[in-house]
Amino acid sequence: MAYTVGYFIGSLSQKSINRTLSKALIRLAPDSLAFEEIPIKDLPLYNHDLDADFPAEGRALKEAIERVDAVLFVTPEYNRDIPGSLKNAIDWASRPWGTNSFNRKPSAVIGASPGKIGTAVAQQNLRSILSFCNSPQMNAPEAYIQYVPGVFSDDGEVTDASTEEFLRHFMEEFGLFVERVLTVLPRER
């Protein structure tokens, strides 16, 4: 059975190393997973006052999440947290109250950074948010990628054999996790 994974790239930069990481992940993913980027760059700042008249960008985000079977967050770490743009998208997707798009949606978190601890602290913060949003999370393997220039090509080819093996394993585990979660908690269509 094939599953569609919506993926979020936490950085708005077109040259983001996490955008390149997402390309590598897609290349290494099992055939049972298909991918659709869920864009976040055009969202206005979340404002509770707009809950009664949700803007088109917010509705489009929620519809994109509803269309997919699972979500993958590929995010950098900004000041020991997730980027504001990603938090903003999560706020839109989880509102208005009672219409949380992440509810029972399987998820995984990964990220790359030039720093030695990768995106460990940002991921911990994101996991806390996803727990509140009732999104079942793949907790292992954890993936804190230290980005070294040349480890990925611009099109997502992984040039380091051990990194390729690790990322392939991560994506295989994610595929199995999605299947397990959706067997127990089938999607409401």
Express each pLDDT in 48-87 by its tens digit.
999 999 999 999 999 999 999 999 999 999 999 999 999 9
The average pLDDT across 145-164 equals: 94
How many CB atoms lie under 10 A from the CB of residue 48?
Answer: 10
Identify each DSSP E strand in 49-100 by its residue range: 70-74
Residue 178 burial class via C-beta count within 10 angstroms: exposed 0-12, middle 13-18, buried 19 and up: buried
Joined together, the tokens standing for residue 64 give 């994109």
Q: In this predicted model, what pLDDT tens digit does every residue of 105-116 receive, in sequence order?
A: 999 999 999 988
Joined together, the tokens standing for residue 120 give 């460990």
Between the alpha carbon of residue 23 and those of residues 29, 157, 184, the distances in Å are 10, 8, 29
pTM (predicted TM-score): 0.96
CA–CA dist 57, 43 (Å, integer): 6
Q: How confident is the model at residue 187 (pLDDT cuts 50, 70, 90)?
A: confident
Average confidence score pLDDT of the chain:
96
